[in-house]
Amino acid sequence: MDKLDRKIHPEYKTISNIVIPQVQKIKLSNGMPIHIMNGGSQDIVKIDLLVKAGAIYTNHKLEAPVTSIMLGEGTKDKNAHEIAEVFDYYGAYFMPSAEKDNAFVSMLSLNKYLDNTLPVYIDALTQSTMPQKELSILLERRKNNFFIESEKTSFLAREAFFEQLFGENHPYGLKSKEEHYSQIDSNILLSFYKEHYNAANFELVLSGKINEAVLKTIDINFGKMPFAKAITSNKIANSKNKKKLIVIKKSDAVQSSIRMGFKTVTKSHSDFLGLEILVTIFGGYFGSRLMKNIREEKGYTYGIHAMLVSLQQTGYIAVAADVKAENAKDAVVEIEREIEKLQNETISEEELALVKNFMMGEMLQSLDGTLSTSEVYKGLVQFGYGFSYFEKLKDKILGITAQELKNLANKYFVSEEMITVVAGKY
């Protein structure tokens, strides 16, 4: 048996092509759109229901997320224990959540038990009573968690960053406050629930082993839902940033949390794909410039990363790091320095080739397996895209030039518009 020589690195292979999964798009009996990804070796089905019921539709910090959590806490026919008992007995997972733009009501179930689990899922989705007793317990638990989180510099920095970036009254920027937990009751949630949780605001993503029997069960349960009024979110203007630097002092902090960034564009903008590549170079992978400088060379932190996020009404670039408290100022200076380098120096062909191959590999990995692919897909559906988005991203990765990236850095990394928040010592 040959001994492995660990001094010789594995052969480097360039990824030049990715097979994009196929998605079947149909409509149920009532016209509800459904996206089907059929595949995998296990007899399981995953339901991801997109609901127009995220934070953008409300001016209350808790209304959207608490409504989604309360779906499984009691219906006209079953209490929370009975609902959980059915899912547990049949080995199913019920997973409601809410984000800034949309809510998702998901379930993972064995195909052979779908006739048992899906009616309970539908019951929770359409017949929830938002019981006050369970709501009070949930709010008390979340409030206690809020107090714990409020002691963490990472939480303080994140909340202040979004507030300053989008505005204190914008749904994207609302900061958590103690009084929010006494401003919610069952009637408020029921009103939001009845307005948003109806078939006119649903879009269904179905993945796994999808056969005719599964589709029939889906249509029986979803295809007869009545359509009420479709919801549209109001275009809300972002407030103009008043402060460029916010310091939240915490004298006992051993580390300081840094959040820095800009508002940018959404996925629908022609520059977004190029920005994805630029932000990856800047701080989007383990070998990024921020990691090399601030983690490896300076030793200020265990990890620092940059992200490009598209919401429906705007997008943003953010840098996040928790650094040694005594190094906070120096870390901010180095982040700014790395931005200036992107604006003033042309990226080498070697670095660009490395990042291109990394991003192609990441795309390949994200599309490996039907269920993991469905997670990627549901993130695209809410913006009106399918997997054609990845075809465009692949072409952009393979074709972008160093000069294009330099131009994007000068266009979007505008120092006068950058928000910097430091929580801890500074």
Q: Supply the CATH classification number for the domain 24-222.
A: 3.30.830.10
To which residue do tokens 């919401």 refer?
Answer: 311
What gap in Å lies between CA 104 and CA 177, rounded to an integer? 25
Residue 363 banded pLDDT, cuts 50, 70, 90: confident
At the topology level of CATH, where does 245-424 sit? Answer: Cytochrome Bc1 Complex; Chain A, domain 1 (3.30.830)
130 burial (CB, 10 Å; 0-12 / 13-18 / 19+) is buried
Check residue 60 and give its pLDDT: 86
What gap in Å lies between CA 44 and CA 51, rounded to an integer? 23
And the tokens for 54?
Answer: 């995220």
Check residue 344 and give its pLDDT: 96
- Average pLDDT of the residues in 221-231: 83
Determine contact, residues 288/280, Cβ cutoff 8 Å.
Answer: yes
What gap in Å lies between CA 64 and CA 102, rounded to an integer? 9
Q: What is the pLDDT of residues 203-221, one digit of tens each?
A: 999 999 999 999 999 999 9
20-29, 89-98, 235-244, 411-420: least confidently modelled range: 235-244
Identical fold for domains 24-222 and 245-424, yes or no, is: yes
Sign, Cα dihedral of 294, 296, 301, 304? positive
Check residue 4 and give its pLDDT: 63
- Give this prediction's pTM: 0.90
Check residue 235 and give its pLDDT: 64
Break the chain into its structural domains and give their ranges: 24-222, 245-424
What gap in Å lies between CA 292 and CA 297, rounded to an integer? 6
What gap in Å lies between CA 309 and CA 324, rounded to an integer? 27
Q: Which amino acid is at 144?
A: N
Q: CA dihedral in degrees (344, 348, 349, 354; nearest 10)?
A: -110
Q: CB atoms < 10 A from the CB of 48, how many?
A: 23
Whether 281 shows a pLDDT value over 60: the answer reads yes
Residue 239 banded pLDDT, cuts 50, 70, 90: low
- Average pLDDT of the residues in 138-154: 95
And the tokens for 215?
Answer: 């589709």
Check residue 197 and give its pLDDT: 94
**More confident position, 24 or 233:** 24
